[in-house]
Amino acid sequence: MITIILGPPGAGKGTQASLLSRRLGMHHLSTGELLREARKSGTPLGKQTASYLDAGTLVPDSLVSALIAERISKESTHYLLDGFPRTERQAQELETIALKEGQRLAHVLILEVPDIEIIARLKKRGRTDDDVVIVEKRLSIYREQTQPIIAYYLERNILSKINGLGSVEEVYSRIISILSY
Ligand code: AMP
């Protein structure tokens, strides 16, 4: 089974995904984390993608799709995709991967947080791509490239919008009520 967690930068995807994997044993796959690790360990992929991470722009679809394809198998695991797919092309790639591995796309969760709150949160987080100019860029990329896939999942009746405001536990319990539905 596959669940996707989406949302703008700073919406709390990573925090919620870590909790879900710790408490429910879901298999957390974060393309952002995988790319940051690749960069830290200096792999060819890391070198190839560092400039995108620094600029806050999207890494080419084929590279991130390959990262996910390598990690999804036929196992009866509940995969939790954090930050993937981010474009329509990636959403199509995921369909192909899921079909090939016999995995069902069960839920798409969107964490919704107003821009003003996002900017305030990211100022506190202090990651190198959280610089204010880069954050604006990442937000506009989110609106242009990622938001269109929301309609795609809405049509298929698997999308749930989640209010991302409030404490980590409050948001977590909203997610749980949807996953157990
Ligand atoms: P995140 O940790 O999800 O905020 O991702 C950090 C950065 O990694 C993004 O700003 C992109 O440069 C890159 N990245 C992560 N996931 C993807 C994806 N699905 N497609 C393209 N680029 C991605």
pLDDT in tens, 161-181: 999 999 999 999 999 999 986
Ligand 1: nearest atom to the Cα of 85: 19
- Give the pLDDT score at 128: 83
pLDDT in tens, 127-143: 888 888 898 999 999 99
Residue type, 64: V
Confidence of residue 42 (pLDDT cuts 50, 70, 90): very high
Distance 52 CA to ligand 1 centre (A): 9
Distance 118 CA to ligand 1 centre (A): 16
Phi-psi region of 146 (alpha: psi -120 to 50; beta: other; left: phi over 0): alpha
Quote the CA–CA distance of 133 and 55 in Å, as a whole number.
10
Q: Among the residues of the chain, which ranges form H helices?
A: 13-24, 31-40, 44-55, 61-71, 88-101, 115-125, 132-141, 147-155, 168-179
Q: Give, for 30, the enclosing helix (H) or strand (E).
A: strand 27-30
Total domains, the chain:
1
pLDDT in tens, 66-81: 999 999 999 989 999 9
Distance 50 CA to ligand 1 centre (A): 11
**Host domain of residue 63:** 2-178
The enclosing domain of 140 has a CATH number of 3.40.50.300
DSSP 4: E
Mutation test of ligand 1: which of 31, 48, 147 has the most ligand atoms closer than 8 Å to its C-beta?
31
